[in-house]
Structure 1
């Protein structure tokens, strides 16, 4: 029986290859054609997902993610690719290579490639933040179900290529457009430049239009870039395939009536693994040849323990867990060697795919269960495909200790779901690896340069004092202290199109320049004032609610630290609420945080020297997809005592637990730039302007004083405080008693929109009224998605879109009031750097 309560024959390997191709069901109904070399249909099947921009999904038969496969086949596929890379590089370069795999799908494949190289160190990206581990990099994978990747090597020099001839080998399961891999290389090359890269994939599915991009890219970065793949092919789509796909998915889902999942047949049991001490559970923090040798030596004994616990089981599935692919895979290969049982291997996943019970369809069944990671990076459902109804009489679920949580053992958890479809469920827990200092310990400091804690505190206290109005900003001196340096006399503005191209191409970071300040037309200024009058009470209520929540949970005298500049008007209003309602004179500072670069470390040091870090409450205006929320949490890992939670006025993205409202509505301070934010620009971080002992910079636009409405905004909202006081008291009391855990719904929506509209970069999707307004004011907008029926909250968006000639597309199902899409035409960037031409293998 599958999760829907239907019986079907066990999945057989020959059904996917010898008898019927597991893409026939989709191909026959949609007219999709999978063309390529002779192996392509053996490697790939087809499935469907709800997606207006791409109806089909390629499903690998040998990756070990969605389709259970013999573990020796899964590991052998990666190992053979690694051998080909070793032959390409030569023995000397292979020894210096670092292999980088992509989470979550290619973590096991990348590790197997490293095994094939034989002597390479392996690292994979991760979506699980780990406290105390410095981030060596990160990137976005726009087409993925979960897009944010972190690089967290234990050895901070792992990716450093200063040693001559240290190639980087990047491994993904599918090379489709090349956007993700090339964007990763571009970002890493800027930080860790090297002469040679090798891209490895099971299949190369690039279209003819994408074929030439690799050579152009190699020339752009001035390095050699090789491509090693097992098979090549392409997907040919007929006209109208998207409409047919939508109809087919909708019809199937409408006919699919899910009953209660089957009751467990038996209670899951634990099997103890004697995991070798000091060996990481995978490549999240790096996996060296020494680790590999220790694991190989321990595998037979661990497989023997599992075999003893399985008894007479004849058809066994070893089921890994999301990013934890390699450890379960190697346990499965060892079990395959140690027993005569028919052993298969696959893993759970966070990617939702339609299941159809047909031998010509790649995803025959699915099990659904709640996330059980701790913390679950993105709460919600998780999935195990082609397990239900597959005839397994035993399943060995392998997780790391961090994921061995109550949710795993809950009545609706993974173990219970598995027990409804097999007679025996074993749980094997691999200890989660916690990075620690090297065996030799930290390097001894130079006695001539070492500073005592007392001298460090004295130096931090001697950092510049905060800038205040009227010398810097039009806010009153006691409204906010800016932990910034004044760059008002420095030319920083660049034309919008030129700036956009530099940002998207990787040639410049957005914080290295400033957009030309938008000068509102008289019509737009009137629109702002009308919006302010209409929404002032609504904003006052949200200000009061978030302030009362902070006072109740973070103590009676918090130190407000707003994230400049969107958070600063909110910080000022929170300070005024505390003063008006409670007679509190709360300190308030504004600091800079930059996506991809972190928070201003010197500002944090100043705060720690003058206040108790535990009293600091970070404040922002609103959440979009939650990128800054994650950025702050990662940045504060190196600074003890600070609480990374952000308090925001509006949390439409569901990214924080302290908020005034989760509605996506017009906040008038988002309608303008500096003229509603104390005449301060957005913050600047550029190496030639910001030294190691400087605060980040910003400009004070004194010349715009005639159009400044910063005071008007504050005074209009504060005038409504008494009017909303009773409602605030009731709402704050209700919130304090409620479950306010972040849902990250906004992040999931952005992933879907990015994929549906073919943007391939979540940083170009700006959700919510505030972020959409920013797109229209200072980026190159492509189009605006507006929720059908949205009213006055979008009047200013429609006016700005009309002035800039940007289409507004009404959308029925949209979790935000609107979403701004930045024009993706600049993603290729400029060329011209000398480099070696691409060689494809």
Structure 2
């Protein structure tokens, strides 16, 4: 079909307002103005029309290769103009929000130029190096926030990049501000199109003479916009007219809303089931150019792009033929580069665009550039307060999947709310994928302290990525990312008696091997199910209480990090509750901590590189005497001293705190938590973690095994589903608990530790590590170790049924005693001998 047969997406406005585009080299054909631009109507009293770029990737979904290629080609022209020597000293500056990605692509084309873009998002602790106004825009203030104050102070050329030049006012404002602070001899202005009038072009030339600098201009195409005198009034009248006419505008509405939908409008939004994908964003690489982006950052990102694209591709539905990668306002470059990598990988049509704060009228007509729009609340806590945001030409575009890419500062409850962006997207595609790029904050852990020409100050070795089900564990991939390495093919199990002898003799650490997995009898499995049904509501209430306490006191967007493996089912439940009750899609990872050897430091480095450590909340199932609580605090102090990475809070959030060891808990009762009854078969089929020098290197995650062969006995899902089904039932009681806890004195009493020391002395056990208090720890003794005896509180009731059954099976006596702060305590005697046997013929400890 010839170009004369294609409907130009500016004809609707041109016909009604009398607007004309006149190209200097012709306005039709490839590369002509009509190929590059369409027209729409602004909701802006300062300018009636909007030039809608077909190659920018903002309002019109476009092939990412074309978007990136346009900017890169302009950068090559800059390098050719300047010459290699001058280009090596250049700095590229892009304009927010529209040209942040374009400017970054230009910097790539220049080759070795550091990049910075203006921003409308203030950042605490970062001093502005300049600012300027955009006179025709609806949001005018631009800030320049380079991490390195010297970035703009060099003598090399400054390359300024915008999507279009209409009057030149924005460029003049920028150069005027920067030249007063950092004078230089040369500026290069770059745009996709130069649409200035002859008068405006003369103003730029006059300004260059005034400041005594050379100013060059490069654009893909140039021309002028001819406007009738009454264009503002006519434009506003058209906007008002079509605002009142039902069209293809899709506005997310809260799920509770009952207003009727008008013609062409989407049904009320609901909280979506977006699939979250962990990108594996490279450590130390900024999310964009808000604070500067050095050539070394570019190299690290390029190396990581194929792996990130693979992870996104794996999250897409099979057979997807049309995929949109959707960026978020100023976050344009990261999703663009991800989209280009995805375009190369997929046998599908990939398109790219971003959301925007710019209000534009949508009209469903082939001759109009903005045919549909999605409307949703701002979700990045903007400095100018709550507002409305838009995504254009997404609704009705037939995308099989949309990959929404945001930075972590924009991964807020508003994003996941019933009227948020994800809900709006879900109404128009069968599959939504969420990819979150960690927001770069200068001076924060994981941020580089370098100057732009240098690589990051602290180069970390490459880190592995989290393991996820179903490849590793029976949990759903979104439930938890395991910061572990898979040792499933390694023989690690040893008979319980041999392990006990080696551990107590000092010949081996307990984390260097695994016990043989306990295979529950039919009677024991039935006991587990009965206990689960009996205690599900109590567990659900504790989950709700601890989750809401965390949200109230620790972070509105916590990153849950469970201590594998007892903490992991609790972390999954907390994540499910946060989503069910609050619409929050919280990240959740599982890490290894080993008594006497600390926490996995590679996992800590990974967390610091991908999240703000201050948002990390460590989660465990229960406390015993508080050994792991102390272990974690010491390990985090040691890690901070060695690496300089600070901000991790050692306070553990637990379901039950009978030992009085923490202040963030669901309950302080010592009751049966059914996940303590079993090992891997209630924890996603994952073993206890392993730390052995010949298997785990200094930059490896700790290890664990995935017992796929036990799938027939797996009750992990049953446990989660049974508890989660009681969330609504316990909500009111949990709310009351949280209200009471938030006003109570919850300082740790360490009552459990005192009791353990007392029991250790009374029973002649001089190693407190062999005294295991609480239902959970006692169960572990019976399942993994060689127990000596069990101390049980009198009249403990059904909470000890499974303990009594296990003790009977292993020939271990149960003594009922008074004065226990716990329901029960398991004892392992230090004078272990392999010759002693119990009633079942199995070895036990003998005194």
Q: TM-score, normalised by structure 1?
A: 0.49
Q: Which has the larger radius of gyration?
A: 2
Greater RCO (Cα-Cα under 8 Å, separation 6 or more): 1
